[in-house]
């Protein structure tokens, strides 16, 4: 039976509960324990799949096809443990499950209430896979006192009471603001947050305090006294230059030891942190830098492309260089102005995924610039489709090449459909059908799918294998019917689905580095195991920087 650590937050949101959870998971792994991390989100959406990136940041996709909170990306990047659909749940999913059971008559005509029916559903979720790992780390989204989060707090309170003594602990993350006028760190917001938490029956065992500076002994003792925790369980969490310093910083503060002490585990195994020291050393002792332009449509919120930003950092770690990623709104390139002055200063160009027509013409122009100027180019998902449309227009001569997706938005048919909505495809032993009229959450190819690479292709050399599995999140596919003509013009289809129907990778052999992928390689990249595509893309950017 797993030991449970429940991570809650107070005072303000966005303090870094996800990173603290991920770092703790990494530290417990370093001591030889197996871990799994989970996220419980209070919002009423069933999942974040239909939420705007401006609302929620990126949607992280698991191997088994779940659309989840971006914090699961942090969990994977820090621990290497592949997330599953059962590692993320929202209030919307919980209530949906309860109402489905009520309609089926599972409750035998009883009045359905938050307690016990909703809280029981949450507790059932917490128990999934409890016999598989040593520690289950469960982060509760939002902050204590949020009305929508109350069922989750009540559920974990009940859960802690129902488990054997010493099986569950609570870690609370708060803010210690610094008041410049008085020159003091103020503990009162944390005291009030803990008071709110205790009022609903939860007493924290470990207190993690975000601050701009170290916590003086006087304030640490005050927090321990008024929040009823041991002084050594008051952990300072200061701002870091890189998030990948977090495991080492939290270890230096004693977070992992405080957690093990709270469980009464002694003596604790010594941690093996060599891989984290290596990662941090590569970040702080980079031997150069490269500039990468990310031409996208959600550039106002960096979290919309969080995994891409981190995967580029991992590529930099692999090559011991600093990657300076700069976000460029694709709509800027939809004007008639020359885009060369903007893009000439970059060593590589990346066009990420997205939905809808807005910004696509700008992405196509960026792909054309990279192709003609021999600048390394990585197109991800829609970025691959933009590369295929660009090649169709300017290499194959189909000036009206476009996508069926944009026809549906415009209500006309103005394109030769290089990209089309695949109405059906084979998944395992069943046929999956998709239609434009389907619910938005039910029309995508989601999760891990296999692909076969062409022997001798650049993609095969980068992966060093011909069989790969990558995660997808998209609705539209490149029409395989255009393969022969495009390959005659120089765009090679170097990766296909096992049945040969769905293009997965395209590349230009006589270009220094020009690759488009239908999947999302960034979702599987880790600092200690950079994704091969990002590692080689950054290598190509380094080579490009030497030519300038």
62 exposed, middle or buried (CB, 10 Å; 0-12, 13-18, 19+)? buried
Domain that holds residue 192: 3-279
Amino acid 441: pLDDT: 47
Q: Compute the distance between CA of residue 263 and CA of residue 6 in angstroms, rounded to an integer.
A: 13
pLDDT at 360: 85
Q: Which residues pair with 377 in a beta bridge?
A: 349, 514
My answer on whether 230 and 256 are in the same domain is: yes
Helix (H) or strand (E) holding 341: helix 340-343
Q: Are residues 129 and 210 in the same domain?
A: yes
* Alpha-carbon gap, residue 400 to 420, rounded angstroms: 14
The CATH code of the domain that includes 457 is 3.40.50.880
151 lies in the same domain as 167: yes
How many C-beta atoms lie closer than 10 Å to residue 254's C-beta?
16
- Same domain, yes or no, for 272 and 407? no
Pair (87, 202) in one structural domain: yes
Give the per-residue pLDDT at 260: 97
Tell me what pLDDT residue 436 has. 52
Helix, strand or coil for residue 20?
Answer: helix
CATH number, domain with residue 79 = 3.40.50.300
- Domain limit, last residue, from 246, 279, 312: 279
pLDDT, position 46: 87
Task: Give yes or no: residues 303 and 273 share one domain.
Answer: no
Please identify every residue annotated as catalytic.
381, 520, 522
Query: Are 108 and 82 part of one and the same domain?
Result: yes
- Tens of pLDDT, residue by residue over 290-324, are 999 999 876 666 778 899 999 999 999 999 999 99
- What does the radius of gyration of the chain's CA atoms come to, in whole angstroms? 25
pLDDT in tens, the chain (548 residues): 899 999 999 988 888 999 999 999 999 999 999 999 999 999 998 888 777 766 767 899 999 999 998 999 999 999 999 999 999 999 999 999 999 999 999 999 899 999 999 999 999 999 999 999 999 999 999 999 899 999 999 999 999 999 999 999 999 999 999 888 888 899 999 999 999 999 999 999 999 999 988 899 999 999 999 999 999 999 999 999 999 999 999 999 999 999 999 999 989 899 999 999 999 999 999 999 999 999 987 666 677 889 999 999 999 999 999 999 999 988 888 877 889 999 999 999 999 987 767 778 999 999 999 999 999 999 999 999 999 999 999 999 988 888 877 664 444 455 555 666 554 545 555 555 655 555 444 568 899 999 999 999 999 999 999 999 999 998 888 989 899 999 999 999 999 999 999 999 999 999 999 999 999 999 999 999 999 999 999 999 999 988 76
Q: Based on the domain organization, do 220 and 330 belong to the same domain?
A: no
Q: 194 with 77, same domain? A: yes
Q: For residues 233 and 346, state if they share a domain.
A: no
In this prediction, residue 128 carries a pLDDT of 96
Q: What total number of domains does the chain contain?
A: 2
Whose tokens are 């300072």? That residue is 236
pTM: 0.91
Ramachandran bin of 57, using left for φ above 0, alpha for ψ from -120 to 50, beta for the remaining angles: left
Maximum Cα–Cα distance across the chain? 75
What's the rounded Cα separation, in Å, for the pair 116 and 119? 5
**371 shares its domain with 408:** yes
Query: What's the helix, strand, coil split of the chain in %, to 5?
Result: 45, 25, 35
Site of tokens 């803990």: 194
Q: Which of 279, 305, 336 is the C-terminal boundary of a domain?
A: 279
Task: Please report the pLDDT score of residue 175 as a whole number.
Answer: 95
Q: Which of 61, 536, 513, 57 is nearest to 314 (CA)?
A: 536
Q: Do both 199 and 143 map to the same domain? A: yes
Asked whether 522 and 273 are in contact (CB, 8 A), the reply is no
Return the SS3 of 36: strand
| Domain boundary pick from 279, 298, 330 | 279
Rounded distance between C-alpha atoms, residue 441 and residue 497, angstroms: 23
Which pLDDT score is estimated for 229? 96
Amino acid 301: pLDDT = 66
């Amino acid at each position: 039976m797993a030991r449970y650590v429940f991570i809650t937050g107070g005072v303000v949101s966005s303090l870094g509960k996800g990173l603290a959870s991920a770092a703790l998971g990494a530290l417990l792994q370093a001591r030889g324990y197996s871990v799994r991390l989970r996220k419980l989100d209070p919002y009423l959406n069933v999942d974040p799949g239909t939420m705007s990136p401006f609302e929620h940041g990126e949607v992280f996709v698991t191997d088994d096809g779940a659309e989840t909170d971006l914090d699961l990306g942090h969990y994977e990047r820090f621990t290497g443990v592949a997330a599953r659909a059962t590692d993320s749940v929202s209030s919307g999913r919980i209530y949906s499950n309860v109402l489905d059971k009520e309609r089926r008559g599972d409750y035998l005509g009883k009045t359905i209430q938050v307690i016990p029916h909703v809280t029981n559903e949450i507790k059932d979720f917490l128990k999934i896979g409890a016999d598989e790992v040593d520690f289950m780390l469960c982060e509760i989204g939002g902050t204590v006192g949020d009305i929508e989060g109350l069922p989750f707090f009540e559920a974990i309170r009940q859960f802690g009471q129902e488990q054997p003594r010493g099986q569950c602990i609570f870690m609370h993350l708060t803010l210690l603001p610094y008041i410049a006028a008085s020159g003091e760190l103020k503990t009162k917001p944390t005291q009030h947050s803990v008071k709110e938490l205790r009022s609903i029956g939860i007493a924290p065992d470990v207190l993690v305090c975000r601050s701009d500076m170290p916590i003086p002994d006087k304030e640490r003792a005050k927090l321990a006294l008024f929040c009823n925790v041991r002084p050594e369980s008051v952990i300072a969490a200061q701002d870091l230059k890189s998030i990948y310093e977090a495991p080492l910083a939290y270890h230096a503060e004693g977070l992992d030891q405080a957690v093990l002490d709270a469980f009464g585990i002694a003596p604790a195994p010594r941690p093996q942190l060599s891989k984290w020291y290596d990662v941090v050393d590569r970040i702080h002792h980079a031997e150069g830098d490269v500039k990468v332009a990310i031409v996208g449509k959600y550039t106002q919120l960096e979290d919309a492309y969080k995994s891409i930003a981190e995967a580029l950092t991992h590529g930099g770690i692999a090559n011991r260089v600093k990657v300076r990623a700069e976000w460029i709104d694709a709509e800027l390139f939809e004007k008639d102005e020359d885009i060369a002055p903007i893009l000439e200063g970059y060593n590589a160009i990346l066009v990420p995924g997205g939905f809808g027509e807005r910004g696509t013409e700008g992405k196509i122009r960026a792909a054309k610039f990279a192709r003609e100027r021999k600048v390394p180019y990585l197109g991800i998902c829609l970025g691959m489709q933009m590369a295929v449309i660009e090649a169709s227009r300017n290499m194959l001569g189909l000036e009206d090449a476009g996508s069926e997706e944009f026809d549906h938005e415009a209500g006309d048919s103005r394109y030769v459909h290089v990209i089309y909505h695949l109405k059906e495809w084979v998944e395992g032993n069943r046929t999956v059908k998709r239609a434009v009229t389907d619910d938005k959450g039910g029309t995508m190819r989601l999760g891990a799918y296999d692909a076969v690479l062409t022997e001798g292709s650049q993609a095969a050399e980068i992966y060093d294998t011909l069989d790969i599995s990558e995660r997808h999140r998209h609705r539209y596919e490149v029409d395989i019917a255009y393969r022969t003509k495009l390959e005659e013009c120089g765009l090679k289809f170097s990766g296909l689905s096992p049945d040969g129907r769905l293009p997965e990778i395209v590349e230009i052999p006589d270009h220094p580095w020009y690759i488009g992928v239908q999947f999302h390689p960034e979702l599987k990249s880790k600092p200690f195991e950079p994704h091969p595509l990002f590692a080689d893309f950054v290598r190509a950017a380094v080579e490009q920087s030497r030519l300038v």
